[in-house]
Amino acid sequence: MAWSGRFVLLIALGLLPIVVLDEPVWLVLWLLFVAIVGVVDLAIAGSPRLVSVERDLPPRVRLGETAPSRLLLTNSGGRRIRGLVRDAWQPSTGASPTRAAVDIPAGERRAIVTTLTPFRRGERRAAQVTVRSFGPMRLLARQASIRAPGAIRVLPPFVARKHLPSRLARLRELDGRTSLMIRGQGTEFDSLRDYVRGDDVRSIDWRATARRTDPAGGAHLVVRTWRPERDRRVVIVIDSGRTSAARIADEPRLDTAFESTLLLAALAAAAGDHVDLVVYDRRVRGRVQGSGGAELLSRLVDVMAPIEPELVETDWAGVPALVRSVTAHRALVVLMTSVDAPGASRELLGMLPQLTGRHTVVVSSVADPSVLDASRRRENRDEVYLAAAAERAMLDLTRVGAAIRRLGAEMVTAAPADLPPALADRYLALKAAGRL
């Protein structure tokens, strides 16, 4: 049972006879009258337990987008339902409005639409719907919570897709689809064509030039065109351990890794390469293998959506065996993790030689832009101490980066918004150099 503000106000009116007449008996009589009226009003109210609830939900929505949630309420009782309905979504679902007024005659159905704007990735759930039914005087109400489970999967937003067209244009240049062919060391021979200004003179085929002469005796320079190798393997390993929970620029490191993965996967799939994903800390949290084209991105976001960081140390010793379980061939292995102090990165550095001996390895790490800003502010004593700490952190990052390069791997580090395109650019550079 619940009561309304009207009922409380009606009780408060009983204080007037005491103030004016100084007769407490009038208060007792008034409270008795209010109680009788309230019981009658409650008895006339429709039963909320006779309301059946159905949900109509989209299965998925991207983070930051809105989606409608429809509740279909059917009054199977014999009395009218007048009152409020509350749909109990998790706060991170961003449901609005949270309460709605309803008026459902007996035997009829009404629909309530709630707008969902999630601000956290993952499975967002609703367990029940609470119906509060008032009597005709709206004094007292019957209340019941009806089990009506519902869930919507909030996918990564893939904001980095805005960088995809420019990277695809560069990929087309590498692939020989423009007038200017780019030769990369170790890439596959494609065809011969006439020399145009801007071509690399090292691509001139002198034998073909000698064979090709016009009737007037003039020679045409002929160049070889090259295209990057296709059908290569790209294995992405995302660290979901303790350090991936840290928020950089108000975004968890794990979410930045997901954005970088989606952009790299879309680019590699367009280049004709095979992309495999493993999310790992001490166990495999998610895996995508054997997908391509539009199905690849769909499977990636579905696997990523429910994964949250685990507060455990990542077992880097198990990564080489994990990569071997994905592919037995040479591949580009991208390790998305956090590179901090040398002591914290000791296990990562100890594992790298097992991968670099067989694969091309890129370590991707998010850099904190606030550290760089702190190193530049030195106006007072507190800022000087912060600047010293920031300089030490940047020095540690430089030392770890140098150690990674000495072990044969490459390192990409940037702010959260810049890391996805930076990693895509490194992939294109490796593609142009024929290192995949």
Domains, the chain, ranges and CATH? 1-155 (2.60.40.10), 188-227 (no CATH), 231-432 (3.40.50.410)
pTM given for the model: 0.78
Q: What is the pLDDT of residue 185?
A: 42
Q: What is the pLDDT of residue 198?
A: 66
Q: What is the pLDDT of residue 333?
A: 96
Query: Contact, 348 vs 316, CB < 8 A?
Result: yes
Q: What is the pLDDT of residue 139?
A: 85
CA 294 distance to own-chain centroid = 18
What dihedral angle (degrees, nearest 10) is formed by the CA atoms of 57, 59, 65, 67?
Answer: -10
Q: What is the pLDDT of residue 163?
A: 95
Q: What is the pLDDT of residue 117?
A: 94
Measured distance CA(320)–CA(328) in Å, rounded: 11
Peptide bond into 97 cis (omega under 30): yes
- Taking the chain (436 residues) in runs of 10, the rounded mean pLDDT of each run is 79 75 76 86 88 91 92 91 91 91 91 92 91 88 91 93 93 60 46 70 72 61 64 91 90 94 94 93 92 87 93 93 92 92 84 93 92 86 88 88 93 94 94 79
What's at 230, amino acid-wise? R
Query: Contact, 174 vs 428, CB < 8 A?
Result: yes
Q: What is the pLDDT of residue 217?
A: 52
Burial class (CB in 10 A: 0-12, 13-18, 19+), 149: exposed
How far, CA to CA in Å, does 278 sit from each of 18, 19, 43, 159, 381?
A: 75, 76, 60, 21, 46
Tally Cβ neighbours within 10 Å of residue 190.
15
How far, CA to CA in Å, does 94 sit from each of 111, 181, 252?
A: 20, 50, 19
Query: Contact, 382 vs 389, CB < 8 A?
Result: no
